[in-house]
Every structure is written in C-alpha cells, then in structure tokens.
Amino acid sequence: MSFQTHDARILEVKELTSREKLFTLRFLDPEINRKFKYKPGQFVVVDIRGFGEFPISLCSTPTREGYFQLCVRRVGRMTKYMHNLKEGDIVGIRGPYGNGFPMEKMEGSTLILVAGGLGMAPLRSVLWYALDSGKYEKIYLFYGTKAYEDILFRDEIIHLLKHGEDMNCHVKLAYEVESPSCIYLEKGYSPRVCKGVVTDLFRGESFDVNNTYALICGPPVMYKFVIKELLDRKLSPGRIYMTLERRMRCGVGKCGHCIVGTSTSIKYVCKDGPVFTYWDALSTRGLI
C-alpha cells in the first residue's frame, strides 16, 4: 500500500444523471497502470491539485484491464470541480485502499446485491466482476432508486433487465417517484420493476441461505431495514457484507476521521473496511 499519488488521464466523461458523471481513467505511467490491481469494494483518493482530495469507490471491475472508472456525484466543492473536468485532463490518484469484498471466498455461491442510490457505484464493480468471471451460482441485483432519472448506469440496468436471465443475473428495481418512464419500465418488466423501496424487492424471493451472500451499499438508513429482511430469512450475519461510508481524508489509517467503535473495538473504516460483515457491526458500536 502506498501514500503516493500518480497522474491519471481522463479518457472519457459520461453524464449518468444530472448529478453523477462517470469518469474513465488511465495512469500516464504504463508501469503503474500494469501494477494497479484492485478488488470490488475498494476505493481510491482523487487528488485535484490546488483543490484537495476526496475518496471515491472504484465502480469498474478488475476483470477489465487498462482503465478504471469512478462515478462521482456532485455534492460540494471538489466534486463540482471534478465535474468540470474534460477528456484529456489529468488528476492525481492514490490507492486502491480498503479491504474490498471477498470475491474469491464467495465463488460458487449466490450473490444478492442490494443497492440504494449511489450505493450502486461500488456494487457495479461486484456485478461486472461476477458476470465476467462466471464463477457465481446466481446473481441478484436489488436496486432502489428515487426516480427514473436517478438510475445509475441506466443502459446497463435495462440491458440486464432484458437479457440478465441468460447470464443467471436477476435484476429488480424499485423506484419511489412515479413517472411515465417508470411506468413504461414497470409494464415491460413486471414484476421485477415496481414502485416502492428496496426491501419490497425481497418479496416472493427465496434463497438457499447456506449458499448465499448478501452485499449491501446505500444510504445509512437503508442498512437496518435490509439487514432485518435478510436476518428474517435466516441468513447468517457472517454472510452479510456491507460497505460503509465515513468522512475520510487520508484513506490509510492516519487522519483519524473514519474511526468508529468503542474502547473494546476500534475500527478504521478506511483500512479495516469499508467492507464489513454484520458480525463486525454487532461487535463494533457505531458501525451502522
């Protein structure tokens, strides 16, 4: 692991929604490019010189080499600046940081990905990794979004709604705000698209809890409800993975911002996580 920032060029900028853009990047130094290996669930720290640094999840998959992608929501100063960048511009990147999801350990099992809003970004990495590697029994994606306009990677999601079954990938979508586009989607893919929240998507689904892992990422309020749903179905806490967000500055266990827990168990979200199991949450207060 290193603290060092490396220059990366923006190869492509794609507008995903009115707030989120997808940046495709590659390191200038081919050697660094070759060495840059990451796991789904890990993140990088983007350095915009003269403006600052911020952590962003890798949303591409390591199975597709030569580039990596970041999905950035415009929320403040630095992310706004990032949104103004164009193809060919250069930013600094350090990482990858964090533990990532244990993809190898989960091979042969069914994966249930539960995403809320921007939580789709890190889970997209898992999704494409699982599809590319073909080593997983079945993949479910339960994706909760506010409105049609907010669906991240909309083309990919609609593609998977259409053709996912051929790849053992079962996509379900819940939206909150009704619109003609949503109703159109709902008509086309009922009952896999419905109005409601992400937990509604569990209805009618059953899993072999001994051979299933759940991977969750979304806004803080989502975790409690999704975990309850999973525990009700007797999924073991050790099979529930979630990726968490905290304020992060250094990303490597120095700046102290992401420390959670109490005297018996202190965790750094940046280096002990950001992926934790529900067992971790039970033994470390304040994790969720």
Partner 1 sequence: MRYVKLPEENFEEFFNSLKKWGIVYAPVKKENIYSFQKVQNVSEIALDYTRTMLPPKKFFVRPKDEMLKLKEGHWEEANGTEPIVLFGVHSCDIHGLEILDKVYLSDPVDPYYKKRRENSIIIGISCMPDEYCFCKSLGTDFAMHGFDLFLHELPDGWLVRVGSVKGHEIAWGTEELFEELTEEDMKNFREFEEKRANSFQKHLNKEGLEDMLDLAYNSPVWKKYERICLGCGNCNMVCPTCRCYEVCDLWMNAYEAVRVRRYDSCFMESHGLVAGGHNFRPTRLDRFRHRYYCKSYFDPSAGFNCVGCGRCDEFCPAKIEHVKVLDEVREGLQ
Ligand X SMILES: Cc1cc2nc3c(=O)[nH]c(=O)nc-3n(C[C@H](O)[C@H](O)[C@H](O)COP(=O)(O)OP(=O)(O)OC[C@H]3O[C@@H](n4cnc5c(N)ncnc54)[C@H](O)[C@@H]3O)c2cc1C
Tokens encoding 183:
């109703």
Helix (H, G, I), strand (E, B) or coil at 58: strand
How many residues belong to the chain?
288
Instruction: Name the residue among 217, 172, 175, 202 with its Cα closest to residue 190.
Output: 172
Shortest Cβ 2–ligand X spacing (Å) = 17
Binders of partner 1: how many residues, by CB under 8 A?
36
Instruction: Name which position in 18, 37, 50, 234 contacts partner 1 (CB under 8 A).
Output: 50
Radius of gyration of the chain (CA): 18
Q: How far is the CB of 273 from ligand X (least distance, A)?
A: 8
Nearer of residues 5 and 24 to partner 1, judged by Cβ: 5
User: Could you say which residues in the range 87-116 bind partner 1, by CB under 8 A?
Assistant: 92
Residue closer to partner 1 by CB (options 105, 247) is: 247
- Per-residue binder mask for ligand FES (CB under 6 A), 210-249, x = binder: --------------------------------------xx
Check the annotation: does 255 bind a ligand.
Answer: yes
- Spatial distance between the Cα atoms of 68 and 24, rounded to a whole number of angstroms: 6
262 lines the binding site for partner 1 (CB under 8 A): yes
**Ramachandran region of residue 52, left (φ > 0), alpha (ψ -120 to 50) or beta?**
left
User: Is the dihedral angle over the CA atoms 199, 120, 36, 4 positive or is it negative?
Assistant: negative
If the CB atoms of residues 73 and 192 are measured against ligand X, the closer one turns out to be 73
Burial of 88 (0-12, 13-18, 19+ CB in 10 A): exposed
286 binds, among partner 1, ligand FES, ligand X, none (CB under 5 to 8 A by kind): partner 1
Please say whether the beta carbons of 71 and 20 come within 8 A. Answer: yes
Cα–Cα distance for residue pair 26/31, rounded to 1 Å: 11
190 binds, options ligand X, ligand FES, partner 1, none, Cβ within 5 to 8 A by partner type:
none
Based on the shown chain and the rule CB under 6 A, indicate whether residue 270 belongs to the binding site for ligand FES.
yes
Question: Is 270 annotated for ligand binding?
Answer: yes
Find out whether 250 is annotated in a ligand binding site: yes
Burial of 28 from C-beta contacts in 10 A (0-12 / 13-18 / 19+): exposed
Binder of residue 49, out of partner 1, ligand FES, ligand X, none (CB less than 5 to 8 A by kind)? partner 1
Interacting residues toward partner 1 by CB under 8 A = 1-3, 5, 49-53, 73, 75-76, 92, 118, 219-220, 245-247, 249-250, 252-257, 259-264, 266, 285-286
Interacting residues toward ligand FES by CB under 6 A = 248-251, 253-258, 268, 270
